[in-house]
Each structure stands twice: as C-alpha cells, then as structure tokens.
Chain A
Amino acid sequence: MIIGEVVGRLWASRQAETLGGQKLLLVRPIAVKGARRVVETPRLVVAVDGLDAGPGDRVIVAHGTRVRDITVGERVADKDVVVAIVDDLELG
C-alpha cells in the first residue's frame, strides 16, 4: 500500500461499462525523504473509492486485482483501491 493525498475527483461521461458507477479519485502519492520529511510526488493515481474520501484527505491505496476483487468487486477496471483514510501519520 502507499499513502497519498486526494487532490481531486474524476468524472467521465463516456466510460467503459466496467467503470460505471464507481467513484474515482485522483490521488497524489507522498514521498518519504529522510526523517520526517514528506514531499509530494509528481505522479497521480486514479483510485476507486469505497470509503467516501474527499479532496484533502490522506488515504492508503492498495494495489492489485485481488484487493480490487474483495473490496469493490471483480467487474471494476481499476487495480488501485482506497482502503483507509489516514487520521494520523507519525514518522520516526
């Protein structure tokens, strides 16, 4: 899993059936640089949200088909899923 910050939500009017009805979030993974230093990465992940996270939330994103299968269902075409909303992150 990785920790990231929700930076937005994504809508698409034309989308594959397998994405239908899924809430999609744009998550920017954080990078841990040395002791206690957290910076943003230039990457964005589109993750399926089953927990009702919103912009500004820090979330834990798990990756993989199995995680996808047991959280949001086998028919969803996205392998990144939000599995937790972070309350507190303590480094070092």
Chain B
Amino acid sequence: MILGRVVGEVWATRKDGRLARAKLLVVRPHAFYEPAFATGHLVATDDVDAGVGDDVVVCLGQPARVSAGGENMPVDAAVLGVVDRVELDRRALDKPGPGPGIRRPLEVPFP
C-alpha cells in the first residue's frame, strides 16, 4: 500500500462497463516505492468516500481489485482508508543510505 493525498476527481462516460459505478480519485503519492511512471499521480477507485485534501492509503494490484468489487474489475489501485494521523520517526528517516534491497532512498515530503 502507499500513502498519498487526494488531489482531484476524474469523470468518464465512455469506459469499461464494470467501472460504471466506480468513483475515481486522483491521488498524489507522498512516497512511492519504484513507481512505474514518474507521473506524480495515480487514479484509484474509492470505497471509503474520501474527498479532495484527504490523506489516504492506496492499495495496488490484486487486493485493489477485490476491494473495488471483485477480481473482474479492470482497476489496479483502490483507496482503502482515510488517514487520521501519521507518525514518522525523524531518526529513522534521517538514517543514511537506503535499506537492503532498496535501489534508491525514498523522499518523504513530510515536515
């Protein structure tokens, strides 16, 4: 799962029929491990009625489809929760160097 902020909503009339009732949100990830595209956004279906400005957790892949309504949903990302509070440990964030198996350090834009 990734942590991001809802920055917008997107509407489509012509779409796969299985998306007919899906609410589609534009989410800007706070930190994204190995993104497929450097787009600064992703589109996720919304199951929890999140709104613009909310921080959310977004699930990617197969669990996202299940959450969005079943394995036959043509989606790859779903908002699973609205975040109330995040705690980050500054000492852990500032620890130099990426961890084992991580090709580059994450940039976490939190105060």
Contact = CB atoms under 8 A, between A and B. Distances in A.
B17 to A, nearest CB: 10
B23 to A, nearest CB: 12
- The range of chain B's interface size is 20 to 34
Interface in B1-19: 7-16, 19
A35 interface: yes
Contacts of B8: 32, 89-92
A3 interface: yes
Contact of B14 (A3, A45, A84): A84
Contacts of A67: 74-76
Interface in B43-86: 43-44, 52-53, 61-62, 65, 71-72, 74-77
Contact of B40 (A33, A53, A60, A87): A33
B11 to A, nearest CB: 5
Contacts, number: 109
A5 B41 CA distance: 14
Interface string A39-56: 001010100001111000
Contacts of B62: 66
Given A31-B38, A60-B43, A88 B11 contact: yes
A68 to B, nearest CB: 9
Interface of B: 7-16, 19, 24, 26, 28, 36-44, 52-53, 61-62, 65, 71-72, 74-77
Q: Sort A-B residue pairs by CB-CB distance and give the 8 closest, nearest first.
A: A84-B15, A91-B8, A84-B12, A32-B41, A1-B43, A85-B14, A29-B39, A88-B11
Interface of A: 1-3, 29-33, 35, 41, 43, 45, 50-53, 60, 62-64, 66-67, 70-71, 81, 83-92
13 contacts: A3-B43, A30-B41, A31-B39, A43-B38, A45-B37, A60-B15, A62-B74, A67-B74, A84-B12, A84-B14, A84-B15, A89-B10, A92-B52
